[in-house]
């Protein structure tokens, strides 16, 4: 539809145009805020938690742990008992989640992750643009995922690795596990993914049930109108 492509709001009412504009501004602010908080906290963690870093090899570094909250004895918890700890700890992740593919040669790893990140961001943007305005939770979840992806992309392009600084560890009955370090961007991606799943499971079915026969007729009429406008 040529008119729709050139003027995507041409067929919207003034109220719909205002809602569309406000929604996009709000989502843009979420992206800006999410990326800003992610980058500022990463810089702060590098300045305060990194003890040593080699100028020649970024894989050679040493960070420190700053405990925030602890329940139980971490040493005894590895044998028996219960423990939960939340710390700030500087870690460099040259790979994907859980450090996957971090051992790849830099000549392969760096361009691979840079291209993969760009492709994912483009896909998310296209998906977000195609998501109807009424799907508020889906749009919010995609926006959070996009903000997290951009935050980690900046690290990859700037440093060739991602800074992780949030450290969670626990022990239940002697089962000790240190969750891989993560950051604000990872948190946004995870929370956005969970919201998207909730929307797909619960709200998508509800929206389909609301699509009454009258709404089907209205959609068919809009489709016919779009065909008539293609040659304008």
* Cα–Cα distance list, 98 to 144, 160, 168 (Å): 20, 16, 13
Catalytic residue, chosen from 155, 167, 186, 199, is 186
- 197 phi and psi angles, rounded to 5 deg: -65, -45
Cα 74 from Cα 77, distance rounded (Å):
5
Catalytic residue, chosen from 155, 164, 167, 199, is 164
Helix (H, G, I), strand (E, B) or coil at 172: strand
The DSSP output letter for 228 is H
Cα 89 from Cα 63, distance rounded (Å):
7
Cα 35 from Cα 47, distance rounded (Å):
18
Q: Catalytic: 164?
A: yes
The DSSP output letter for 199 is I
Closest CA to 83 of 95, 91, 74: 74
Q: Catalytic: 105?
A: no
Give the residue numbers marked as catalytic: 164, 186
């Amino acid at each position: 539809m040529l008119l729709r492509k050139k003027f995507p709001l041409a067929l919207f009412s003034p109220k719909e145009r205002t809602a569309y504009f406000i929604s996009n501004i709000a989502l843009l602010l979420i992206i800006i805020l999410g990326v800003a908080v992610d980058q500022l906290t990463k810089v702060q963690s590098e300045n305060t938690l990194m003890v040593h870093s080699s100028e020649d090899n970024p894989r050679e570094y040493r960070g420190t742990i700053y405990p925030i909250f602890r329940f139980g004895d971490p040493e005894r918890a590895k044998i028996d008992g219960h423990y939960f700890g939340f710390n700030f700890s500087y870690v460099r992740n040259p790979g994907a989640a859980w450090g996957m593919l971090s051992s790849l040669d830099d000549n392969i790893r760096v361009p691979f992750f840079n291209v993969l990140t760009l492709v994912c961001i483009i896909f998310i943007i296209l998906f977000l643009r195609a998501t109807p305005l009424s799907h508020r939770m889906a749009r919010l979840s995609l926006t959070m995922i996009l903000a997290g992806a951009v935050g980690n992309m900046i690290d990859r392009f700037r440093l060739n690795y991602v800074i992780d600084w949030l450290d969670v560890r626990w022990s239940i009955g002697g089962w000790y596990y240190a969750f891989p370090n993560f950051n604000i961007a990872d948190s946004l991606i995870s929370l956005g993914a969970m919201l998207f799943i909730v929307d797909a499971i619960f709200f998508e079915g509800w929206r389909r049930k609301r699509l009454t026969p009258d709404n089907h007729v209205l959609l068919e009429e809009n489709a016919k109108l779009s065909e008539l406008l293609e040659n304008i």
